[in-house]
Structure 1
């Protein structure tokens, strides 16, 4: 066995925020995304509620309508990646 020098590696953050309705999950997610920096996208399944926080951070939004099939989430994630967003907030996946 051999120890090696620790090196900082670039890794993607995957963070889930849970709580009851009105507890600040969307607001907190946007603050975290703003702190990370870069371009932010929000996938909103909550009838446009994420846009209520447009004063918290600069972000683009995709309002997803039912049905909320996993394939539609995957399509949206791929679209955000292809568009060059640094952070994607999924609000919400329940």
Structure 2
């Protein structure tokens, strides 16, 4: 059985908030909306999360999405498609 969480992050760029959410999730898959991530944010999340991170940071008019998958149950996930607007990920 897999446990899936979905969260409107309303910005997940500060270290404290990111750490609290990513370390606090007990599930296998975390779907995030409105991440407002940039390159540095993705790098910070990679250091915290034990698994794959798929992200679409978007543009100035969109806030970005991310799907984080822990390594313990799913080993062969891959990115199939992401749109140019930061609103869609197909994994």
Normalising by the smaller structure, the TM-score range is 0.3 to 0.5
The structure whose residues are more often helix, as a share, is 1
Which of 1 and 2 has greater Rg? 1
- TM-score, reference length from structure 1: 0.40
Structure with more of its chain in strand, by fraction: 2
TM-score by length of 2: 0.41
